[in-house]
Amino acid sequence: MTADACDYIEPVILADNLIFFYWGRHPGHGNLDMQLGGGAWVIHDGRDAVVVDSMNLPGQGSWVRRYMEERYGITRFTLVNTHCHEDHIAENHVYADSTIIAHEDTRRLMMEHRESLERGSPGVPAFPVVLPDVTFRQQLDIWCGHTLIELHEFAIHERGHIAAYLPRQQTILVGDMLEDPVWIFHFDVAPADVQIAELKRMAAMDLQHIYPAHGDIDTIRNGGYGTSFIQCSIGYLEKMLAASQRADFMASTAQDYIAAELDKGELHWWPPYEQVHAMNLRTLQQLAD
Ligand SMILES: [Zn+2]
């Protein structure tokens, strides 16, 4: 696929200096992340841009870069990878001429999985693995012109996952640490109780605008999520943990755990998330074995 074929990407203006590049929702697509919907962000100031995640499929990342060059006159890019999953690193090669920043575990995991990523897998096209060249642990502050961007590590969803926090705008870009309607569990990052504590640590930050990579686009368009969104993620995990010993656990649906949040409009159902919930059921079942 060439960049020209990526005209379905929608630049959603979140703030004067912040754009979400949304690849939309494509039911029946061979790639799960295209079914779920998602995107990546660009923070910009003058001719500088900090790109947070490099998109999902071949051509998407170069489409974003060209858009920023042509519409905003950006001449200097920095790329940040929130974590090592394919739909966040697939087009890193577009920024091979730029500084690429990530947590040191993200670089390590990309190296470990290089061979399989460069071979591709069903629904996930092969892509060249281009590694971050600046790594850190815990926290790193970077600047895009006059905009301070704090990169914060949290032990949620994947090893080395970081969020990009814009303190003056009370805005946080959380990657996959939060997802609407349900997030994806991995417990090699940290046990469930630690991840819940990490979510609470995030909720204690000064936040007005929370933006996940995968979420409800109308909510994202209208200022994003508030901190109750973090409580939704905690509740989903806690209720599933409590139910995991029940005989009918594997037959339970995501709606069994988030019905109240869906009713209140805090979460928004999207059918492809049945697959995410099924993965989470299996993950918790394996944990119990
Ligand atoms: Zn992920």
Between CA 110 and CA 89 the distance in angstroms is 9
Ligand 1 centroid–CA 280 distance in Å is 13
| Structure token pair of residue 79 | 């790329």
Ligand 1 centroid–CA 69 distance in Å is 28
Residue 160 · residue 84 · CB < 8 Å: yes
| pLDDT tens over the chain, length 289 residues | 455 689 999 999 999 999 999 999 999 999 999 999 999 999 999 999 999 999 999 999 999 999 999 999 999 999 999 999 999 999 999 999 999 999 999 999 999 999 999 999 999 999 999 999 999 999 999 999 999 999 999 999 999 999 999 999 999 999 999 999 999 999 999 999 999 999 999 999 999 999 999 999 999 999 999 999 999 999 999 999 999 999 999 999 999 999 999 999 999 999 999 999 999 999 999 988 7
Ligand 1 centroid–CA 205 distance in Å is 22
Ligand 1 centroid–CA 167 distance in Å is 24
| Structure token pair of residue 256 | 């069994």
Which residues does 262 contact at the CB level (< 8 Å), separation at least 6? Answer: 181, 255, 268, 269
User: Domains (ranges, CATH) in the chain?
Assistant: 3-288 (3.60.15.10)
Which residues does 44 contact at the CB level (< 8 Å), separation at least 6? Answer: 17, 18, 19, 50, 68, 72, 74, 144, 145
Ligand 1 centroid–CA 249 distance in Å is 24
Three-class DSSP category at 10: strand
Ligand 1 centroid–CA 188 distance in Å is 13
Question: With 0-12 CB in 10 A as exposed, 13-18 as middle and 19+ as buried, what is 135?
Answer: middle
Q: Which residues lie near ion ligand 1 (Cβ < 5 Å)?
A: 85, 176
Ligand 1 centroid–CA 38 distance in Å is 11
The closest of 55, 70, 46, 47 to 24, measured between CA atoms, is 55
Between CA 261 and CA 231 the distance in angstroms is 10
Between CA 67 and CA 221 the distance in angstroms is 19
